[in-house]
Structure 1
């Protein structure tokens, strides 16, 4: 499937911002199951230059600096990607065996995925997560089966409510509230996995949505999305694979998903962040449009 994604971010400042430095994670991933066919990043007012560089996880970040006063900033990322659905993984390793693989043992093979089993800024390891996850992770249960059950339970137990949390809400607070948005559901699921010693990654991106029957799709009506990938080690010492799960929609992501970036949590790969001098008051508008490209 070919998908056209337009992600617009607009700031209005009062008083004017004198200088600013920004970092953007707005370039979709390019890999085996997702090919990036085209991408452009337009910034208004235009900076002297926009530099791109990969981060530690392979995501491409854009950096730009604005040195003149401005009351308005608009950043538009325009991308076309070709996506392919992942085959269903066949994996029956018990979750306890996966946890043991991630533990440090002298002279043992190091698996880089172990990094994603530790705390991160928004997702601490905590007994409250263990208590919630225990019903899914029963003794000897395969890790993918247990993780899928955890996804089902989060979807059933948590209420989607956009005003209940914000971008800075910690995962433990979301767990206690039993409500939030896709970012919160992903963070809670990651907290459960990591508190059991299992690696889990935060995935940001987009989801193709369909309007109600008889209604036209509104430009800018989509939104950024977030989900989780769970690590499935190989039987040998070779690299394992990652299986993606979406607790917000209770499904496995398919070709209607666009992967933007991978990290430990939202703090690693927020779409836009920066440091500004001035602009004490500001308003933010974000609009996302995901449309299929008809051949």
Structure 2
């Protein structure tokens, strides 16, 4: 708490002697921060629940006077293309468990598993060792095949439906990501391709590379390009800037992604593949797993931390005639993926790459209970070495895109400045009538989903059914830790009289209280405290599976927020165990708009590659 008092002194001293007198007056009234040492770990960074809460509300009134000076500057335009150098190396003990619970009236049950293969590219290598696959009970029939894409498929079948079927696949994967300078002279337009590679140019139901809208956009974006890297960079940059991550979307194909501007990893992959194939560049779809072990990339202004959910993921590989197949994750990286990726299956689209974890069965028509499948992924990092460095470039895209250094001719993407937030005079502010309901934030997430059983049953015709692998992954951060604090930026373009702040949370239990702190922005990081919500008892939040909105009430204060940047952070006391759901990328805010720091640190120097799900509700002016 002393650090907050010191911060207040610095801000007050900067703005005016009058504010210093106001601060002294508050001390005379006895409304000051408690100087006693904390008696429990949570109090290290949680504001006490008596005088300190009163103090925060009074500070909100003080800072309201000076907020216009803090927030009157324009939001800067930022190019977010980062050149990444260095390497990653990991030895991973990967284990996938699947449990099938039997249904009624089932005549035959079949499960297919794809065995991960070793893979080598200029930037990413996966060496697979010590593969072990077991079934309990033993299948009545087991078959090993290899499809036309080189995927090794094990198919196991059981007569009827055992009460439980337990499947366990373990693999040792040695993954290496090397990010040295890549040199490519592949021309654009590309030359003719032959053999099996030609198949990765064709249009499919999910990759509509022959659709007029997709062909026109791809042609416009690549016009004048002299190298294949130039064309690829332009197309991937467009996808990064024009598609926001949403899971689950209504559809997964490229055309839906283009028209809606939203989707999950399948949509990013299908749209990128469609645009690239439309201009003659072969692309294949990759299915695999991502692991939730984070890694850090230092850059000029701090640390960027990257983290994926633990579960199934889709990305792409692009064919260069002088490089071969090179991996891209079109959500945020080109020419590489990190050592946290487990590559399993490839094909022309995700309808084709469906074999891993595919459960099929035949069942009598009057059967009531269908089989269920629960999938559990774990990974032990036996070794993990990271040495990376990022450098922000002066060209686009606007959203985050990581790339190794490339020696090739390309046209840098210019980024237009963002318009500054509107600025109002004091007379205009006093005349505002806050009458229109207003809701803003990163609003879309899979609400009330039980991530233990995310799959749905599909009819395969007649009395045949199937369950395919699902890309619905739990992406959430444990935010009630005594080690790290998290904050999310909110950028308003309209004045707002704030009533509530909602966070997408799951309560795992424990005891204590939660609240939301609201901060002003200072140089792109949380700054002075504006106010705090009413407290919420953790026992009032459901512990049933899934994430849902938890609203924190600001109606007692109703702070008036002018256009600009603000920060919200979850505060707590006691020992609650709470996760806050996040979305890959930045659907709403800027790249560095999700911050973290150690509880004893002053500077919010760490930035995260995702965006927490939040909503602000209240009223705005007509």
Pairs within 5 Å for 1:11-160: 11-25=100-114, 27-32=115-120, 33-86=125-178, 88-96=181-189, 98=190, 100-102=191-193, 110-125=194-209, 126-160=211-245
Q: What is the DSSP-based 3-state SS (H/G/I as helix, E as strand, rest coil) of the residue aligned with 2:229?
A: helix
Question: Which of 334, 337, 348 is 1:264 aligned to?
Answer: 348
Question: Which of 317, 330, 339 is 1:229 aligned to?
Answer: 317
Contact 1:208 1:291 survives alignment (8 Å): no
Deviation at 1:156, TM superposition (A): 2.4
Structure 2 unaligned segments of length 5 or more: list them: 1-89, 297-308, 385-622
Deviation at 1:65, TM superposition (A): 1.0
Mean Cα deviation higher: 34-43 or 270-279: 270-279
Q: What is the DSSP-based 3-state SS (H/G/I as helix, E as strand, rest coil) of the residue aligned with 1:133?
A: helix
Q: Aligned pair in 2 of structure 1 residues 198, 294: CA closer, same or farther (>3 Å)?
A: closer
Contact 1:222 1:290 survives alignment (8 Å): no
Q: What is the DSSP-based 3-state SS (H/G/I as helix, E as strand, rest coil) of the residue aligned with 1:56?
A: coil
Deviation at 1:150, TM superposition (A): 2.1
Q: Give the TM-score of the pair, scaled to structure 2.
A: 0.40
Question: 2:167 and 2:258 mapped to 1: Cα distance?
Answer: 33
Question: 1:254 and 1:142 mapped to 2: Cα distance?
Answer: 25
Deviation at 1:92, TM superposition (A): 2.8
Moved over 4 A (4+): none
Summarize deviations over 1:78-125 as a string: whole Å, max 9, x none.
2111122255542132321x1x423xxxxxxx3431221012342232
Deviation at 1:190, TM superposition (A): 0.8
Match status 1:186 vs 2:269: yes
Question: 2:267 and 2:213 mapped to 1: Cα distance?
Answer: 15
Deviation at 1:43, TM superposition (A): 2.6
Deviation at 1:66, TM superposition (A): 0.7
Question: 1:194 and 1:60 mapped to 2: Cα distance?
Answer: 26
Q: What is the DSSP-based 3-state SS (H/G/I as helix, E as strand, rest coil) of the residue aligned with 1:268?
A: coil
Q: Aligned pair in 2 of structure 1 residues 74, 139: CA closer, same or farther (>3 Å)?
A: farther
Query: By percentage of residues, which structure has more strand?
Result: 2
Q: What is the DSSP-based 3-state SS (H/G/I as helix, E as strand, rest coil) of the residue aligned with 1:193?
A: helix
Contact 2:208 2:214 survives alignment (8 Å): no
Q: What is the DSSP-based 3-state SS (H/G/I as helix, E as strand, rest coil) of the residue aligned with 2:225?
A: coil
Q: Which has the higher contact order (CA 8 A, sep 6+)?
A: 1
Q: What is the DSSP-based 3-state SS (H/G/I as helix, E as strand, rest coil) of the residue aligned with 1:82?
A: strand
Q: Aligned pair in 2 of structure 1 residues 8, 159: CA closer, same or farther (>3 Å)?
A: farther
Question: 1:258 and 1:159 mapped to 2: Cα distance?
Answer: 24
Mean Cα deviation higher: 255-264 or 224-233: 255-264
Deviation at 1:23, TM superposition (A): 2.4
Contact 2:235 2:276 survives alignment (8 Å): no
Aligned length: 271
Q: Give the TM-score of the pair, scaled to structure 1.
A: 0.80
Question: 1:114 and 1:80 mapped to 2: Cα distance?
Answer: 33
Contact 1:222 1:287 survives alignment (8 Å): no
Question: 2:253 and 2:295 mapped to 1: Cα distance?
Answer: 33
Question: 1:151 and 1:11 mapped to 2: Cα distance?
Answer: 39
Question: 2:171 and 2:142 mapped to 1: Cα distance?
Answer: 17
